[in-house]
Structure 1
Amino acid sequence: MLDRRGFLTSVATALQPRSARRPNLLFIVADEWRGQALPSAGDPNLIAPNLARLAAESVDFRRAYTSYPVCCPARGAMLTGKFPHAAGVPGNHMRLPLTERTISAELKQAGYRTGYIGKWHLDGHESPGFVPVERRRGFDYWAAYNLLHQHYGAVYFRDTPAPIRIDGFEADGQTNLAIEFLRQKSAQPFFLYLSWVAPHSPFTPPRGHATYDPAKLRLRANVPENSRDQASRAAAGYYGLCSAVDENLGRLLAELDRQGMTEDTIVLFTSDHGITLGSHGLDEIDRPCEETVNIPLMIRYPRRLKKRMERDALVSNVDYAPTLLSLCEVQPPAEMQGVDLSGWLTSGRGAPRTPVYAEGQVGSHSEWRMVVHGRDKLVVDCNLRPTHLYHLGHDPYELKNLVALPTSRRKRDDMLALLRQWMSSTSDRIRYTAPRKAAG
């Protein structure tokens, strides 16, 4: 039996006009790309003309959030449309359970030609890691590995454990493979998932893109003075990798244009999480700050979506799978926890998700949960005690923590109630058990 959301989704899907041919889907993930590092977000440093073009041609979300700012949990959420704790990947270096339904398996069953290129990171600790066919979740074409953060001298696997070397910059070679996939003639629509490691550390861009001068970079206002030198050097390498990725994005967009596939191909560009790069004096990922949880999200589908900038719409990466399945005219599985935004994207009617949630450091004493509703943001610790409260409209750099102010009590309590409701509805629970104090 369908629940209310499943019923409404099925009705909306049935009422949508069925195209003569389902759209292609090119799903691009750039590892550790934070949402602030985009031309369309007003980044003063980044040179990325192809991302600027894609943003201008897309629905460009400025307030997209990862459900967990770490690689493995975020990737599991994007594939399954479920929050990491519900998808069985509540931490890094975990294997996505075979019982979980994925967008790739659903599209394959619906007749799509499926392919995966790049970093997988859903098959445990193995590095680089050959992933056997039975654990590839419906992807037929495979040029990937489990885990390897190495921009040069990288390898990938096909259908045997024999590694295949990529000469030069890894993203260049992976984009070559993606273009070969796009050129394969087939009557089937395709779903290609391209997973670049860049701009993930190490921050060693190709020589032609190592052009950013650390002394000239404008750092975010929340980078402390004593962290600025180190942050500037890291940011120079980071931006160089971003520009190198942008060049490869341009190659992909040009190939779609060349083959006349632009109108009927959904292109989604996103990341699994961001990185602090010195903000708040940190060089980390698994933190509930905007530099790590806010991620890029651009969705281009010229045939059906009107390009626009979405400055206020809140979107979670758990929403990707049900939304894309519906755009591809495939019924999303009822157990997906994400919101199907396809009707809102195509018609503009209704409202997108609100609020959004994230979790992190699950199973440790630093475990946290986060909720963002409107411009308000609350973070709680492993005991569900509020630790941070910000108004992102007035304080986008999160410099003024309002959590202890008496005037914020009602807002804090309302946000905490929202968080508790979400935890109940998704069967989320804090996994860390504090050690008991000795009697005495």
Structure 2
Amino acid sequence: MKLNLLLPFIFTILIFGCNKKETSQKRPNILFIMSDDHAYQAISAYGSKLIQTPNIDRLADEGVLFTNACVTNSICAPSRATILTGKHTHINGKMDNIHPFDTTQMTFPQIFQKAGYETAMYGKLHFGNNPKGFDDFMILPDQGNYINPDFITPQGDTTLMGYVTDVITDLTLGWLKDKRDTDKPFMMMYWHKAPHRPWWPRADKFKKYSQMTFPEPATLFDDYANRGTAAKSAEMNILTHMTYNHDSKIRPETLQKMGGVTPHIENYKDGFYYPYNRASAEQKALYGPVVDSINQYFEENWPSMTNEEKMKWKYQRYMQDYLGCIESVDENVGRVLDYLDESGLAENTIVIYTSDQGFYLGEHGWFDKRFIYDESFKTPLIIRWPNEFQKGVVKDEMVQNLDYAQTLLEAAQIEAPSDMQGESMIPLLTGNDQQWTRDAVYYHYYAYPSIHMVKKHYGIVKKDFKLVHFYDDVDEWELYDRYKDPQEMSSVYHDPAYTEVVETLKEELKGLRKKYKVVQ
């Protein structure tokens, strides 16, 4: 009799217990992979002619690749703050690399943590020494170092021997394999330093890539004739602003012997670039012969080079080091993807690959980022979740780093705060494109005067047009027809044929500034 009375109760417990387990299993793990300054032009899934990236391409083959993904502010710390908060930089406080982040802001890792996820961050954060919302972290101080990097941890600072991209991956895999609570879903941020300037590939890649030659961009010798003051006055030209010692690996003693070589940075710590001097004797022995060969060629040839030849030589040196860094990123991404496959985690893990912004690889003669022009403004974005998101699909909708937080929260069945400013990309990822209504994004860059001297500007970008206002010490407008002029060589703002387009976009721009609560 007593057993009969207990049976419904036992049955209820079993049913609800099974449902609870089933629900927890459906909550996806999150692996958020981000590199620093990784241009979409240096990913073969985006059609790169510079490098093959087979492991990042795996994600594109198995997920969704966005060709119009972009940032709200193309500079490192502000971009990261936008990603973490889902808010524009004027709201979260991190308008440039100097302005302080508003620490009262809620970050999406905090929300995941409160929802029962185990959270971790390994790699480069670039602002703050105590990231919020993480059960475990090991982050690089400020920019970090490529060789034998230092890390900030909850237990204190430490230095680990090795190449930074390998070390960050080792730490990430160690956490996934041995440290995490396997009874909880995880949200892991695996954020690389590479390929941030100054570019030091791992020694074997340094040797390999120093012997390679790469195709030049069509706009390498751009004279900015059909654009305004901002493009003409920016200090990011490979010939005139990329330094020979800091960037091209010319030793101070070589420069001193030759005399008259500019630009270069004076008074390097320890006589040569500091990260190189972090290397052990054994590590320097691997780098030294390549550095010597670069210096020998430079000393013998530079005096007789024309400016065009110097530009070409500096471009090749730039690509050799930059792309050498990227090959290590791609190989290490492959290590982590392989582990997800081998462990059975891949099926229920959302993997996102992106960069904190785009980067110039010689287009318009430039390096660095900051501008609203495409190479800087657009960023790689690839997202995979087997059996849930579309596979091998390319999307050209206007999405932003503003959207990542809300997208991941919705995928994990967690309600996003109402003050987040992005939009969930889940409709695009699941093939319900008709539910995506945004057709324009807002961009705003604040860091002027500052390194590279890119003027303050804001703008609206749609698939077909881009309207930009440069302000503060200038008052200039530019308009680009993105279909007819994909390289953005000529502003058509003053062309009478585009008068109606300008008027319409200015009204839409006002609407976006009001929507996002822009006050300056």
TM-score normalised by length of structure 2: 0.74
**1:215–1:22 CA distance, 2 compared to 1 (3 A):** closer
**1:36–1:415 CA distance, 2 compared to 1 (3 A):** farther
Alpha-carbon deviation of 1:402? 1.2
Q: Using the alignment, how far apart are the partners of 2:120 and 2:136 within structure 1?
A: 4
Per the alignment, in what secondary structure is the counterpart of residue 41 of structure 2?
Answer: coil
Contact 1:22–1:328 under 8 Å retained in 2: yes
Q: Using the alignment, how far apart are the partners of 2:468 and 2:136 within structure 1?
A: 41
**1:52–1:187 CA distance, 2 compared to 1 (3 A):** same
Partner of 1:401: 491
Q: Using the alignment, how far apart are the partners of 2:476 and 2:464 within structure 1?
A: 17
1:100 aligns with 2:105: yes
Q: Which amino acid aligns with 1:267?
A: V
When structure 1 is superposed on structure 2, of 421-430 and 257-266 the one drifting more is 421-430
Q: Which amino acid aligns with 1:115?
A: A
Partner of 2:196: 200
Per the alignment, in what secondary structure is the counterpart of residue 154 of structure 2?
Answer: coil
Partner of 1:219: 216
Partner of 1:168: 162
Contact 1:149–1:201 under 8 Å retained in 2: no
Alpha-carbon deviation of 1:158? 1.6
Deviations 1:308-329 (A, max 9, x none): 4334211100000001100011
Per the alignment, in what secondary structure is the counterpart of residue 361 of structure 2?
Answer: coil
1:373 aligns with 2:462: yes
Q: Using the alignment, how far apart are the partners of 2:485 and 2:24 within structure 1?
A: 45
State how 1:116-265 maps to structure 2 within 5 Å: 116-123=121-128, 131-132=129-130, 136-161=131-156, 163-184=157-178, 185-210=181-206, 211-212=208-209, 216-224=213-221, 226=308, 227-265=311-349
Alpha-carbon deviation of 1:232? 2.4
Alpha-carbon deviation of 1:209? 2.1
Matching residue within 409, 416, 427 for 2:517? 427
When structure 1 is superposed on structure 2, of 395-404 and 342-351 the one drifting more is 342-351
Q: Using the alignment, how far apart are the partners of 1:273 and 1:43 within structure 2?
A: 17
**1:93–1:307 CA distance, 2 compared to 1 (3 A):** farther
Per the alignment, in what secondary structure is the counterpart of residue 295 of structure 1?
Answer: coil
When structure 1 is superposed on structure 2, of 258-267 and 351-360 the one drifting more is 351-360
**1:186–1:91 CA distance, 2 compared to 1 (3 A):** same
Per the alignment, in what secondary structure is the counterpart of residue 468 of structure 2?
Answer: strand
Matching residue within 376, 379, 382 for 2:471? 382
Q: Using the alignment, how far apart are the partners of 1:26 and 1:215 within structure 2?
A: 33
Contact 2:194–2:325 under 8 Å retained in 1: yes
Per the alignment, in what secondary structure is the counterpart of residue 354 of structure 1?
Answer: coil
Structure ID, larger Rg: 2
Alpha-carbon deviation of 1:216? 2.8
Alpha-carbon deviation of 1:214? 7.5
1:59 aligns with 2:64: yes
Partner of 2:238: none
1:298 aligns with 2:293: no
Partner of 2:506: 416
When structure 1 is superposed on structure 2, of 314-323 and 301-310 the one drifting more is 301-310
Alpha-carbon deviation of 1:390? 1.3
Q: Using the alignment, how far apart are the partners of 1:354 and 1:37 within structure 2?
A: 27
Q: Using the alignment, how far apart are the partners of 1:241 and 1:352 within structure 2?
A: 38
Deviations 1:179-215 (A, max 9, x none): 0111134200000111101011112211322333677
Alpha-carbon deviation of 1:220? 2.1
Contact 1:93–1:121 under 8 Å retained in 2: no
Contact 2:467–2:478 under 8 Å retained in 1: yes
Q: Using the alignment, how far apart are the partners of 1:213 and 1:156 within structure 2?
A: 29
Partner of 2:235: none
Looking at secondary structure, tell me which structure has more helix per residue. Answer: 2
1:269 aligns with 2:263: no
Per the alignment, in what secondary structure is the counterpart of residue 303 of structure 1?
Answer: coil
Matching residue within 52, 56, 60 for 1:47? 52
Per the alignment, in what secondary structure is the counterpart of residue 105 of structure 1?
Answer: helix
**1:283–1:214 CA distance, 2 compared to 1 (3 A):** farther
Q: Using the alignment, how far apart are the partners of 1:426 and 1:97 within structure 2?
A: 17
Partner of 1:307: 391
Matching residue within 69, 72, 75 for 1:70? 75
**1:303–1:18 CA distance, 2 compared to 1 (3 A):** farther
Q: Using the alignment, how far apart are the partners of 1:112 and 1:182 within structure 2?
A: 14
**1:331–1:77 CA distance, 2 compared to 1 (3 A):** same
Q: Using the alignment, how far apart are the partners of 2:24 and 2:427 within structure 1?
A: 15
Alpha-carbon deviation of 1:228? 3.5
**1:209–1:104 CA distance, 2 compared to 1 (3 A):** same
Aligned-pair identity (%)? 29
**Unpaired runs of 5+ in structure 1?**
1-16, 124-130, 431-440
**Unpaired runs of 5+ in structure 2?**
1-21, 223-307
Alpha-carbon deviation of 1:389? 1.4
Contact 2:35–2:193 under 8 Å retained in 1: yes
